Amino acid sequence: MEVGDVEARGAEGREVDVVGRHARLVARTALISFLTLLSRIAGFVRETKTAALFGDASGVSDAFITAWRIPNLFRALMGEGAIVTALQTELTRVDHERGEAAGRAFFHSMLRLVTRLCAVVCVLAMLVAWFLPDRMPITGWGWLGEHPAAVREFTVRMLPFVVLVCLSAVVGGALNVRGHFLAPSIAPVVMNLGWIAALVAVGWAFGAGPAGAGPSEHDEQMGMARWLATYVLVAGVILLVVQLPALRGAGLAGASSSEERALSRRAAWSALRAGLPLALGAAAYQVHALVGGVLAIALLPQGGSSLLYYVTRLQQLPLSLVAIAATSAVFPMLTALGERRELDRVRQLHDRTHLAVAYVAVPASLGLAFFAEPILAACFQHGEFAAAGVERAAWGLRALALAILPAGAAGLVARTYYALGRPQTPVWIAFALVFVNVGLSVGAVAGLGLDLEGLAWSTTICAWLNLLLLLPGLRGRLALPPSQERVLPRLGRIGLAAGLSTGLAWATWVAWLGTSGSPVALMLCILLSVGLYGAFSQLLAIEEWRELLSRVRKRIAG
């Protein structure tokens, strides 16, 4: 995407082009998506290996995954959510108004402040986790599941990850603002490769055995889980260290003047105070996923929490690859345009990004929904993970597949609110929907007797509600101009092409294999679906397909 040169002169006399530094936006999004794909593939191998070690009905696995959700939530709220949103918004403003030297001083102040804040949060959370009662007061609800001591132990072991991952998020967010995306995108790939190596080593040292078969098997799995909880801290170190060499090239390394340091300390505190209330809105979908995970260990039979986590990881593969990658790539640009109050270009970038995301998200949702059981079998039915686990998880995956589009779209809409200085709306909507999610989840499981699919449907419904409540504010509170992209007709053609291609591929699978086949046959059917999607996109003159072909031709010609 071509962007014009918009230049501002910093206080020290250097020209800082806060919009022009984000040129080649499509190429950058492609780079982030590719590296995100590598990270998710490595992460998926990690989850497959974990499932093979612990099985589909392991209480130890439920405890470990529940404990892992807690530092992961802090990562989403404080690291990838509130802190990074506040950092990127303020760093763009400081670079624009006072120059890159002032921006560097602000970045250093944010690093110091985030380190202290996260250390305090980590210690307090560890104390709460350690002394948390096994059952909820008054109601007697066993909210920590069948192994509360294991949940507490693993939570305390893994919580220091919060400090490391938040620091790595601050570094990555600042690098993105300065137009550097390679190091922040490659760090998760390295981390996941290390995690896979740790799993192989743990499996080799301990072996695998189904939990619940006897005391020795339970103790063996507890030993494996303790070693993996320790590796989580190593993973946090990897995320941070891999990004540090890129700071110098981005102009974020080096000393600052005493005057700049004093100004930056005040700016950091101001940014953090503004950012922390945004945490819930910035990571709304992750909050709903955590609510589902906590309810899973409390309400579902053994193994339900682990299965819900595995299907969530499958669903997040296309969500992270496309929607989150695109949002990460365009948010610095949205912020820069918002700083310049170029509302026409904000609207254009917002709408074009939505359509590009939908072009991949819609067929991904339908593919996961149609091929849920064969995909789960190919990915997880190994080692101690049995066919019963696949059957139990399939409807949960189908429900979560329908959340890919609204979750990705709502994240982009919320970031548009932040870029234009209107964060209150997404925060209040997300806060209200947490209670809606709890009510729907308890009603689905306790009232209707559903399994993990009840929690999955609750998350999906809340994702759609979040998007539908956010969209009217684009013309209202944000005062953006009307869309020029004919969004609804284009979405209709994308949906038609995706439905036809996925339906024909599924019909081929059923007629050819009777719904049971090898991973190779599954891959062939998926490739058939992709080919048909391209053909129908050409037939229906879908703009995103034509733009993709045009860029491929230019790349080949170049």
Q: HEC profile for 334-399? A: HHHHHHHCCHHHHHHHHHHHHHHHHHHHHHHHHHHHHCHHHHHHHHHCCCCCCHHHHHHHHHHHHH
Residue spans of alpha helices (H) in 420-518: 424-442, 452-470, 487-513
Whole-Å CA distances, 377 to 100, 211, 391, 420? 52, 21, 9, 45
User: In this structure, what token pair is assigned to residue 428?
Assistant: 């209040």
Residues 268 and 333 in one domain: yes
Residues 184 and 305 in one domain: yes
Could you give the CA distance from residue 507 to residue 118 in angstroms, rounded to a whole number?
52
Could you give the CA distance from residue 288 to residue 464 in angstroms, rounded to a whole number?
12
To which H or E segment does residue 61 belong?
helix 59-74
Could you give the CA distance from residue 50 to residue 224 in angstroms, rounded to a whole number?
10
Least Cα distance to 404 among 335, 345, 337, 464 occurs for 464
Least Cα distance to 538 among 495, 508, 477, 493 occurs for 493
Residues 170 and 311 in one domain: yes
Whole-Å CA distances, 217 to 58, 60, 206, 212, 213? 10, 10, 10, 7, 6
Biggest CA pair distance of the chain: 73
**pTM of the entire structure?**
0.76
CB atoms within 10 A of CB 277: 14
Domain membership flag for residue 490: no
| Amino acid found at 368 | L
User: In this structure, what token pair is assigned to residue 222?
Assistant: 């507890």
CB atoms within 10 A of CB 472: 10
CB atoms within 10 A of CB 516: 11
Could you give the CA distance from residue 55 to residue 15 in angstroms, rounded to a whole number?
58
Report how many domains make up the chain: 2
CB-hemisphere CA count at 13 Å for 45?
A: 16
Least Cα distance to 312 among 495, 68, 126 occurs for 68
Residues 220 and 317 in one domain: yes
Domain membership flag for residue 217: yes
Residues 479 and 515 in one domain: no
Residues 380 and 500 in one domain: no
* All residues at 6 or more sequence positions from 1 whose CB lies less than 8 Å from its CB, including other chains: 24, 25, 26, 349, 352
Domain membership flag for residue 273: yes
The residue from 452, 485, 518 where one domain ends is 485
The SS3 call for residue 140 is coil
Residues 472 and 500 in one domain: no
To which H or E segment does residue 545 belong?
helix 543-557
User: In this structure, what token pair is assigned to residue 471?
Assistant: 């969209």
Residues 134 and 196 in one domain: yes
Domain membership flag for residue 1: no
Residues 60 and 122 in one domain: yes
Could you give the CA distance from residue 504 to residue 491 in angstroms, rounded to a whole number?
20
Whole-Å CA distances, 223 to 45, 198, 210, 546? 21, 13, 13, 54
Domain membership flag for residue 301: yes
Could you give the CA distance from residue 71 to residue 159 in angstroms, rounded to a whole number?
5
Contact 232, 164 (CB under 8 A): no
**Residue showing tokens 């053609």:** 493
Domain membership flag for residue 144: yes
CA dihedral 523, 47, 44, 282 (to 10 degrees): 130
The residue from 453, 485, 517 where one domain ends is 485
The residue from 451, 485, 519 where one domain ends is 485
Contact 172, 243 (CB under 8 A): yes
pLDDT tens, the chain, 558 aa long: 333 333 334 434 454 554 555 555 566 666 666 777 787 788 878 888 888 888 887 888 888 988 888 787 777 665 555 677 777 778 888 877 778 888 888 888 888 888 888 899 889 988 988 887 877 666 566 667 777 888 889 999 999 998 898 888 889 888 888 878 888 888 888 998 998 999 888 888 876 544 444 447 778 888 899 999 989 999 989 989 999 998 888 888 877 677 777 777 777 787 777 666 555 555 566 666 677 777 888 788 888 888 998 998 888 878 776 776 677 777 778 877 887 888 888 888 888 888 988 998 999 999 999 999 999 988 888 877 888 889 999 999 999 999 999 988 888 888 888 888 787 788 788 878 888 988 998 899 888 889 889 999 998 999 999 999 998 888 887 888 888 878 889 999 999 999 999 999 999 988 876 655 678 888 889 999 999 999 999 999 998 888 888 877 876 776
Contact 294, 1 (CB under 8 A): no
CB atoms within 10 A of CB 120: 11
CA dihedral 382, 386, 391, 397 (to 10 degrees): -40
Residues 443 and 550 in one domain: no
β strands within 240-367, DSSP E: none
**Residue showing tokens 């050819």:** 512
Domain membership flag for residue 299: yes
Give residue 542's domain range: 495-558
Residues 280 and 159 in one domain: yes
Residues 105 and 44 in one domain: yes
Could you give the CA distance from residue 299 to residue 305 in angstroms, rounded to a whole number?
9
Residue 257 backbone dihedrals phi, psi, to 5 degrees: -70, 160
CB atoms within 10 A of CB 31: 17
Domain membership flag for residue 2: no
Could you give the CA distance from residue 468 to residue 391 in angstroms, rounded to a whole number?
32
Distance of CA 221 to the CA centre of its chain: 28
